[in-house]
Amino acid sequence: MLYSDKVIDHFTNPRNVGSLDKASARVGTGIVGAPECGDVMKLQIEVDDDGRIVDAKFKTFGCGSAIAASSLATEWLKGRTVDQATELKNVDIANELSLPPVKIHCSVLAEDAVKAAIEDWKRKHGDGDRDEGAAESADEGQAPETTGAPAGQGQPARADV
């Protein structure tokens, strides 16, 4: 596959590879994709008290463009507020990386991972319909439903890893 220089750059020097403490109340974790499909992304954000993303990390099993898309996403997330982060769209990632048509799904997956991480963080903070207790117990889960993005994102975020 012939990739753009930006994909090669992010693949060769991936930004923000690693893991944050998923048990921390400040951290939101999103895991999307499935190994049988050849792509699994784990994306984490750390949010300060003002709702600003102070750190972002990823680990990705997938092709070069999947790794590049997650690397780029973490770069964009840092310094933004959670509200700004929800506006991140897959087309922005696809355009920035000049992804070929067969690789667009990598950018969709990155958007899903971001959304799932935000959802997880919000849930920990009692947003939505759940109470504190339910949120905490969900945090203990190994393959948590907490990573499920809301329906209607084109491709539902999956955590069946």
Partner 1 sequence: MSLKLPVYLDHNATTPVDPRVLAAMMPYLTDVFGNAASRSHAFGWQAEAAVEAAREQVAKLIGASSKDIVWTSGATESDNLAIKGIAQMYREKGNHIITCVTEHKAVLDPCRRLGEAGCRITYLPVDHHGLVCPRQIADAITDQTILISIMAANNEIGTIHPIAEIGQLAKARGVLFHCDATQAVGKIPLNVDEMGIDLLSLSGHKFYGPKGAGALYVRRRNPRVRLTCQMDGGGHERGMRSGTLNVPGIVGLGAAAEICHAEMADESPRLTALRDRLHNGITEQLDHVKLNGHPAERLPNTLNMSFAYVEGEALMMKMKNVAVSSGSACTSASLEPSYVLRATGVGDEMAHSSIRFSVGRSTTPEQIDYAVEQVVRAVNDLREMSPLYEMAQEGGEAHGT
Residues that bind partner 1 in the complex, under the rule CB under 8 A: 1, 11, 14, 17, 19, 31, 35-42, 58-64, 66-67, 102, 142-143, 161
Report the residue number, 12 or 81, with the smaller CB distance to partner 1. 12
Please report where in the chains the tokens 């998923």 appear, as a residue: 22
SS3 (DSSP) at 157: coil
Residue 78 C-beta: closest distance to partner 1, Å = 18
Report the residue number, 59 or 125, with the smaller CB distance to partner 1. 59
Give me the residues paired with residue 39 across strands: 34
Report the residue number, 15 or 123, with the smaller CB distance to partner 1. 15
Assess whether 63 carries a catalytic annotation: no
Assess whether 37 carries a catalytic annotation: yes
Residue 96 C-beta: closest distance to partner 1, Å = 19
Given 99, 106, 108, 110, the catalytic residue = 106
Residue 60 C-beta: closest distance to partner 1, Å = 6
Report the residue number, 6 or 125, with the smaller CB distance to partner 1. 6
Given 23, 37, 91, 134, the catalytic residue = 37
SS3 (DSSP) at 42: strand
Cα dist from 102 to 86, 92, 93, 108, whole Å: 25, 16, 14, 12
Q: What 8-state DSSP symbol labels residue 37?
A: G
Which of 29, 56, 19, 20 lies closest to 119, judged by CA? 29
CA–CA separation, 148 vs 159, rounded Å? 7
Residues catalogued as catalytic? 37, 106
